[in-house]
Each structure stands twice: as C-alpha cells, then as structure tokens.
Homo-oligomer: A and B are copies of this chain.
Amino acid sequence: MASAAEDRRFGPQRRVTLAAPLALDGGQQLAPVTIAYETYGRLAPARDNVVWICHALTGDQHVASVHPRTGKPGWWSRLVGEGRPIDPARHFIVCANVLGSCMGSSGPGEAAPDGAPFAMRFPVITIRDMVRAQARLADHLGIGTIAAVVGGSMGGMQVLEWAATYPDRVRAAVVIASAARHSAQNIAFHEVGRQAIMADPKWRGGDYYASADPPAAGLAVARMAAHITYLSEAGLTAKFGRRLQARDTKGFGFDADFQVESYLRHQGISFVDRFDANSYLYITRAMDYFDLAEEHGGWLANAFRRSSTRFCLVSFDTDWLYPTSESRAIVQALNAAGAAASFVELRSPFGHDAFLLDVPELNRLVDGFLRAGGL
C-alpha cells in the first residue's frame, strides 16, 4: 500500500511526550515536554552501540531519511546511512528535533496547555535545555551510556553540552565546525535575522499561526542573511562570481540580474516552506546565549574536568562563521582539563556549509575516530 511505502520512505516519525516537567535555565518549568525523533538501526543487547546525532539551527531529526515536507534526502545522508561512517547496520542512531524547533518537538508552534499555540509564550531556552530534554529521551529509550554524540554547528554546541552536563553518559564526542560560545559577530548576524522577522507586520507579535499567512518575507530575509555566512567568499566567487542569471546583459532594474541574487532569493523563499519564524527566533536566541565557559565559572576547561570522554574536533579552513580558532580554543581547554582530544582542520572551499557537503576526508575522520573507540 502507498501509505506503508510512504512510512518506510519517511522513517518512523517517532514522538514521545514526557510527563515530568523540565526545569529550564531561564527558571521556568516546561510541561509537557514533547520530543520528535528518528532512530535507525537496532540497539545492541549490551546497549553499547548508540550514536546520538545533534542537529543544527535549521536541521531536524530526519538525518538520514527523506524530509516529510521537502521530499529531500536526510540532511546528513553523506555521513549517516548504509555503508557510511555512521551506519544503521552497526549503530543504533538517534536524532531528536531540538526543543524550540518546528518538526514535532515542543516549541512555539506547538500547543500550550491551554490548547492554543505557545507562540511567544514559549519560554526562552538554552542549548543546555535542549540537551537536558534529549537526556530525558535517552532515559525513555532505555539508553544509559552513549557511545558517541556527534554534531556540527549548533549540533556541535549540543555535543559539548552533552559532554559537560552528562560526562558519565558520553564515551565519545565529535564536534564539527562549531564553537564553545557565540562571538559578537555571530550574535550580530542573528540579531539582523530576528529584526527582519519581527519587522514583518505579518509576524503579529508571534501570533500568526491561525492566519495561514506567516511572516514569510521577514523569515526569507533572515535566511538570506544567514546563508551568506554559511558560505565562503571564495566559494561564492567560484560558484557564481558576477555571472548573470538567464540573460546576456544587465537588466538595469531590480530583478535578480546576478546568479548569486537569484540563488539567495531561492534560498530564502524555499526556507519559509519548511521552517517556522518563531522557532527561528527561539533557536538563534539559544545559540547567542551559549557560552559554555560562563556556565562553568568563566573557565572553559572547568566544563571538562575529570571527563573520560574522548573528543574529536574538526574545523574547516574557509569557515568564517565558526573559524578554526574557535575549535582550537576548545582543544586548549580540553588539554588543560586533561581530556583526550584530537583535532583536525580540513581544507574545503565551501565555508561553514562544508560539514553538510561532500568532504570525503570528514567521512574518513569520523569513521576512524568511531572505530578507534570500538564502534
């Protein structure tokens, strides 16, 4: 039957509601806590083959299966899947939609206890809150120790937070193209995006869910601004340069003359079909608030004291959003804390986006690191 075929194609689409409230960093209690997630592979009898994947700002739980809204392959199917470094034939793979997002987990678009969407009544959350919710999911799944927590960008922040908050539950941690705190420039770019959304009259203070007319224009501008930061200057030049879009001469108007304009507009427009504007506000806020050192008395090394987790850090040389210096700072803190850490800067022309793209060296690195840990 078509629906069964669809089910397999799209993965299991699991969702669980945890009854006990979650105490948030902001001081509020969130209840109930709903978490949407996907799993791939089978939990080994010894429960020692769990690979927990953390997704980035606009990612989701569909790490290696088709996205139900866009119909596109899972966002990390280059790294996760049959014959890949993270392989359901060997690993029990879990990926949960983060708190505050819009793919089924508790967030501003989900119903509050009064039945109406939370909208801006949803509490401001932190990366640590996201990880605490995931730990609850691990409990629910009967998972004690996780063999490896893996993530890139905001996913890497969650990996660091997992290792810092639950050191006894994390045997290995893979942090790709990430940082232990958001820089002033990163905060600035996020603030531009938030202002673009909140300046859209259709945002209506966040109460747009009943209207079927969300603040698409503002969200598209936010995505366009962010998207530039995901790419390298050299990569943009190589991909588009100053080439014109479907025309031989400049149009002397305000249509998209250049390919790079057309590409950016497409990025903005297609994003609004799959993402919620309020979720964008909440998750960027959580990223801006992230400062792992601050949570540990101002010293990043304190976050990893007595840690027996093995760490693998990866950066990309053209990533200017989370540059290599950010990964180095983490490695220095890990060294100072006496934790086991390996670090590689990979060459790639793709900027920050490289962690999602075809970088064979990244696959080899993750594969080698996991196998060295017996995975």
Contacts and interface: CB of A to CB of B under 8 A. Distances in A.
Interface of A: 25-27, 120, 123-124, 181-185, 187-189, 191-192, 194-196, 198-201, 217-218, 220-221, 224-225, 228, 231, 233, 236-237, 239-242, 250, 252-254, 256-258, 260-261, 264-265, 268, 281, 285, 288-289, 291, 294, 320
Given A199-B221, A242-B184, A194 B252 contact: no
| Chain A interface main SS type | helix
A264 B186 CA distance: 12
14 contacts: A124-B252, A183-B237, A184-B233, A184-B239, A184-B258, A185-B237, A187-B260, A189-B228, A192-B228, A192-B264, A195-B221, A196-B196, A199-B218, A257-B289
A198 B254 contact: yes
Given A181-B242, A185-B228, A188-B260, 6 more contacts: A124-B252, A184-B237, A184-B241, A187-B260, A199-B220, A233-B320
A252 B191 CA distance: 15
Contacts of A258: 184, 187, 191, 288
B192 A233 contact: no
Contacts of A264: 188, 191-192
A182 B242 CA distance: 8
Contacts of A218: 199
Nearest to A206: B254
Given A191-B224, A220-B199, A185 B233 contact: yes
Contacts of A239: 184
Given A199-B218, A233-B185, A285 B191 contact: no
A96 to B, nearest CB: 23
A252 B30 CA distance: 14
Nearest to A198: B254
Contact of A252 (B123, B189, B224): B123
A190 to B, nearest CB: 9
B124 A183 contact: no
A253 B124 contact: yes
Nearest to A325: B233
Contacts of A220: 195, 199
A118 to B, nearest CB: 14
Contacts of A242: 181-184, 187, 291, 294
A186 to B, nearest CB: 9
A26 B224 contact: no
A124 B291 CA distance: 46
Contacts of A260: 184, 187-188, 191
A256 B285 CA distance: 11
Nearest to A194: B254
Contact of A188 (B123, B228, B257, B289): B228
A184, A257, A268, A285: residue with the most chain B Cβ atoms closer than 10 Å: A184
A138 B192 CA distance: 41
Contact of A281 (B224, B254, B281): B254
Nearest to A258: B187
Contacts of A123: 252
A295 to B, nearest CB: 12
Contacts of A217: 199
A155 B358 CA distance: 41
A79 to B, nearest CB: 27
Contact of A184 (B196, B236, B291): B236
